[in-house]
């Protein structure tokens, strides 16, 4: 049976009949979720302007991949079905999650999709997710040809949990953090785009998914915040998996009183970094966005539950959970926001990346090595995040 969604070019046995630029190296961008896709887009920006390279996207198997194909198509990306992707060969595949990678016919570059590898499971001893053998090895072989780490500490974890992957591991820093820090200079422009005046203070509320995230664990917080705001504005950053699991219509209905009261709800498909760059206060949880906000010096109120101890020792998330002011949902929020101070942002930033400002160069170098191409000369520093839609 023929899959009518399969594309005829630029891949496939007959593609040379249709393409205008032959002999390009073809890179498959395997996006599992909206979050991983956003991380991958930072990396795609580093190489897709090279006229020796053709990028092709696919949506890889994941429980939270709903809507991702449409998002990529709206960006103008060339998207092929997963079933076609696993029946073709590519010069390189890049992914920020693990599902199905063993089915690809390409050298695989694997990167993290959050602030390092902080999630742990088990207890004797706890295992750091993403640096463990079940995720990195299939059929006795390491899946990735290049495993890009953000920090030297992760190499130590890898040595304990999956030593077979050490030969392919490279510490390349964190492209998301580098781009966030480069975006801080655009704070006035981001605030104008959000409609925040010079005399207003912006509170950003960030929630990861799950019952122990802020949105799930403190469902009345947003209504309380909007009722108690005095001269403040509020914006909400929801992990895309929340909308994927419940539906954007339902989440919007739950939030309707808050939206009517002036809450700014970020589109999960847009870049969240301008909101952090524009913020004056951050209310967050165990998620990566909270760690990134703390790392650039925002005062943080941190929502915590009994399960929040499940963050890897030494990770930026564990530092924030241990040192940030704890949110008390039973007390007035105004005094808590006023009293909150930044955590040691240098310590958090140092836990996020041991190659600050260098990720673009290091990632490009690895990509061209895997492609077997000489790297083009030029400056490839991180770029600021795009402005939010006004």
Quote the longest CA-to-CA distance of the chain. 68
- Is residue 3 assigned to a domain? no
| Whether residue 243 sits in one domain with residue 101 | no
| Whether residue 77 sits in one domain with residue 156 | yes
The pLDDT value recorded for residue 4 is 45
CB within 8 Å of 143: residues ≥ 6 apart:
98, 101, 102, 108, 110, 136, 137
| Whether residue 193 sits in one domain with residue 57 | no
| Whether residue 297 sits in one domain with residue 217 | yes
Mean pLDDT in consecutive groups of 10 residues from the start of the chain, 390 residues: 68 83 94 95 94 96 92 95 96 96 97 89 83 94 97 95 97 96 96 94 96 93 92 95 93 96 94 97 96 97 72 90 94 94 96 96 97 80 66
| Whether residue 360 sits in one domain with residue 318 | no
The pLDDT value recorded for residue 314 is 87
How many domains, in total, are found in the chain? Answer: 2
| Whether residue 207 sits in one domain with residue 142 | no
CA distance 48 to 254: 40
Q: In 239-271, which positions are buried (b, 16+ CB within 10 angstroms) versus exposed (e)?
A: bbbbbbbbebeebeeebeebbeeebbbbebbbb
- Domain that includes residue 226, residue range: 178-352
| Whether residue 155 sits in one domain with residue 196 | no
Is 203 strand, coil or helix?
strand
CA distance 103 to 142: 13
- Is residue 388 assigned to a domain? no
CA torsion 381-366-38-241 (nearest 10°) is: -140
Instruction: Report the CATH number at residue 82.
Output: 3.40.50.2000
């Amino acid at each position: 049976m023929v899959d009518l969604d399969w594309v005829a070019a630029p891949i496939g046995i007959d593609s040379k009949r249709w393409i205008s630029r032959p002999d390009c190296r073809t890179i498959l961008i395997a996006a599992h979720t909206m979050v991983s896709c956003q991380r991958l887009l930072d990396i795609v920006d580093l190489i897709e302007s090279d006229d020796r390279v053709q990028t092709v996207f696919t949506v890889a198997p994941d429980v939270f991949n709903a809507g991702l194909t449409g998002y990529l198509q709206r960006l103008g990306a060339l998207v092929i079905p997963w079933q076609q992707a696993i029946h073709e060969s590519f010069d390189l595949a890049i992914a920020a999650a693990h599902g199905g990678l063993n089915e690809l016919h390409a050298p695989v570059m694997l990167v993290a999709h959050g602030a390092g590898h902080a999630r742990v499971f088990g207890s004797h001893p706890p295992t750091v997710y993403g640096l463990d053998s079940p995720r990195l090895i299939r059929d006795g072989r390491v899946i990735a040809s290049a495993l890009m780490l953000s920090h030297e500490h992760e190499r130590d974890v890898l040595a304990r949990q999956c030593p077979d992957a050490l030969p392919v591991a490279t510490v390349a820093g964190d492209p998301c953090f580098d781009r966030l820090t480069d975006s801080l200079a655009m704070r006035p422009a981001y605030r104008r785009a959000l409609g925040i005046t010079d005399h207003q203070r912006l509170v950003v509320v960030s929630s990861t998914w799950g019952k122990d995230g802020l949105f799930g664990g403190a469902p009345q917080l947003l209504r309380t915040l909007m009722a108690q705001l005095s001269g403040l504005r509020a914006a909400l950053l929801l992990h895309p998996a929340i909308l994927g699991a419940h539906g954007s219509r339902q989440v919007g209905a739950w939030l309707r009183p808050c939206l009517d009261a002036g809450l700014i709800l970020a589109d999960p498909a847009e870049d969240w970094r301008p909101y952090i760059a524009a913020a004056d206060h951050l209310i967050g949880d165990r998620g990566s966005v909270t760690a990134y906000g703390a790392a650039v010096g925002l005062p943080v109120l941190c929502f915590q539950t009994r399960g929040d101890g499940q963050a890897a020792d030494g990770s930026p998330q564990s530092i924030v959970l241990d040192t940030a002011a704890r949110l008390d949902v039973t007390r007035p929020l105004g005094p808590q926001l006023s009293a909150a101070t930044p955590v040691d942002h240098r310590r958090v930033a140092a836990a996020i990346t041991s190659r600050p400002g260098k990720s673009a160069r290091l990632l490009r170098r690895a990509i061209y090595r895997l492609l077997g191409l000489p790297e083009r000369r030029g400056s490839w520093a991180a770029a600021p995040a795009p402005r939010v839609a006004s």
